[in-house]
Chains A and B, each alone.
Chain A
Amino acid sequence: MGEVIRLKDITRVFDTGQIQVHALRGVSLTVEEGGCLAIMGASGSGKSTLMNILGLLDRPTSGSYHLVGEDTSRLDRNRLAGIRNRTIGFVFQNFNLLARTSALENVELPLLYRGVGARERRRLALEALDRVGLGDRANHAPNQLSGGQQQRVAIARALVASPSVILADEPTGNLDSSTSVEIMRFFRGLVDGGLTMVLVTHEPDIAAWAERVVEMKDGQIVADRRQSPSVVTPSGEAVP
């Protein structure tokens, strides 16, 4: 199995003028292909900064980041956009779907920026919507869908470009507990099918779905343990 992500001695310092904030203080992390990695930590622990760097939305102050074997530290904004498009699928806490735009068009977006033709784009987007069980809602606008359905559209959008890794930032943060389970079960199915996923959460119940949990504190990794993914609901009852 190959490496998808290799971080080495990553630091990130925010210069606010008067004081320097060390958000990350030397993070090294390797993520293998396949499986789900949960990054946990309190707010201010640096997990969001780490996520932004993993997503190529932010650049480390020092250290190296190889994504699928490619060194990303010397690339400009346009090149980074291209790599994001090809290798990363984002799932956000607040879904981030375009309003007044159909589910289908939302899912088509990454393909649009890859220059895929209209017909092929439509075919792939419909396929991705089918995968998340929303093939029949393709023409619904986000405000016509429930929270769970909106997040599933966002997952379809992340999947449509067949990325190397899915980055999910608190994907269940805006959902009720039963919908959270539904979404996590769906993610689990994808991971069992061979997908690589990095999940940021502060909820232990959600982290329990991952086979590897990294805990962060004060910009450093303080724990890195492997576990057998326990399929539990937030209320603690076991799910078959």
Chain B
Amino acid sequence: MTIIQTVWVAGRALLRNKMRSFLTTLGIVIGVAAVISMSAIGAGARARVAEAFQSMGSNMLLVFSGSSRTGGMRGGAGSQPSLTWDDMEDIREQVDGVKYVAPLMAVGAQVQGNGQNWQTSVRGTSVDYFAIRSWATDSGELFSDQDNHRGAKVAVLGRTVVTNLFGEGVDAVGEVVRINNIPFQVIGIAAAKGSSARGEDEDDAVFVPWKTFRAKLSGGLQQFIPGPIMISAESPEALEASRVGVEKLLRVNHKIRPGVEDDFTVRNLSEMAQAQQEGAKTMTSLLAGIALVSLIVGGIGIMNIMLVSVTERTREIGLRMALGARPSTVMFQFLIESVVLSVIGGLLGVACGIGAAKYLVSTFNWPLLIQPEFSFLAVGFSALVGVTFGMYPAWKASKLDPIQALRFE
């Protein structure tokens, strides 16, 4: 008997008990669907995390001022200004592997224009900031280094600010807005970026050159940067060297003796991204593990039904043996039956799993990442489940004594 004939006989036998076959398959369907959808969702979550960190800036280091200490009470990071404008220039010029450096100062301010007004975050930074965040303009242009040097009163508006002052989709380049009553010329509109990893609206901001910001908008000690310094390294490999270089330079600049604590903090955002990725990965493995367990439960269901089937069909087995079925053929037939059940379950499970993943992903607004190799793996694994759990019942069937089997009631 050929394999095709055996599969055909197995299929006929399964169709004789449609409902039972369907319910048995269901266990595998659910198991495989769980594996597929969980892995797709996990991959989607990882991609989402990666995307969020990518949009914050690539290969990025953040340098914060140190913490203040008043008596026994310590302020948080940045509470004691310690980073100077000279530090920033030194980092740009002296630390190897550093590509972009930008200060990041922010102040809440009332912005007026076109007869409207809007409370937003006004940020003083350099043109490097936009490079670090790979942020472009929709129209107009970014401020230049010259604008910065001469303290030009120019501004780049975020999309949300434009919408609230001038209306949806209006090109406000060339208009004048007043920030804390100081007139600024709008030279560019930043492209819409959406919400940040923390859920803040990135487009609700106005950007001005940092020298202008320092002169017109921020108070405080002029020699210190009232905010962190953003640094972008040339490559992920250069990141660690840059971090070490920045720390060394700042310790020299700030005349910190060996053994004394830093008065600044350097944070590596890529590490945070990696940690997040690891978390998502662990979650995925956990979900996949649970899904695998349900697949094994499905396999036990198949074994159970195959054992019932062997008992129920004892006479049929005896008859088939009398008519010339070899014990090995009988074993193969039952094995094929359980494999057919599990593979059909696997295929249905892949279809259901992809469907479920699509639905969930559209609910969470994550990218859909179905890994085709996972589908093959799941179907292959369910076939393996069929073989493993079908083996014992099939072996039992092949060991039946035809005389006893034919007499079985």
Q: Which residue numbers of A lie inside 8 Å of B, CB to CB?
A: 52, 55, 57-58, 77-78, 81-82, 84-86, 90, 92, 96, 98-101, 105, 109-110, 112-115, 118, 157, 161
Contact = CB atoms under 8 A, between A and B. Distances in A.
Contacts, number: 62
Given A78-B326, A113-B320, A115-B2, A57 B402 contact: yes
A118 B325 CA distance: 17
Contacts of A81: 321, 324-327, 329
A78 B327 contact: yes
Interface string B322-343: 1111111100000000000000
Contacts of A85: 323-324
Nearest to B4: A118
A84 B327 contact: no
Given A96-B406, A100-B16, A101-B16, A90 B326 contact: no
A78 B329 CA distance: 9
A87 to B, nearest CB: 10
A112 B319 CA distance: 13
B9 interface: yes
Interface string B232-261: 000000000000000000000000000000
A105 B329 CA distance: 18
B403 interface: yes
A82 B322 contact: no
A55 B322 contact: yes
B47 to A, nearest CB: 50
Q: Output the residue of A77, A82, A86 with the most chain B CB within 10 A.
A: A77
Given A57-B402, A81-B325, A112-B9, A96 B315 contact: yes
A174 to B, nearest CB: 14
B1 A113 contact: yes
Contacts of B322: 55, 57, 84, 90, 96
B1 A112 contact: yes
A58 B325 CA distance: 15
21 contacts: A57-B321, A57-B322, A57-B402, A58-B403, A77-B327, A78-B327, A78-B328, A81-B324, A81-B326, A81-B327, A84-B322, A85-B323, A85-B324, A86-B324, A90-B322, A98-B316, A109-B320, A113-B320, A113-B323, A113-B329, A115-B1
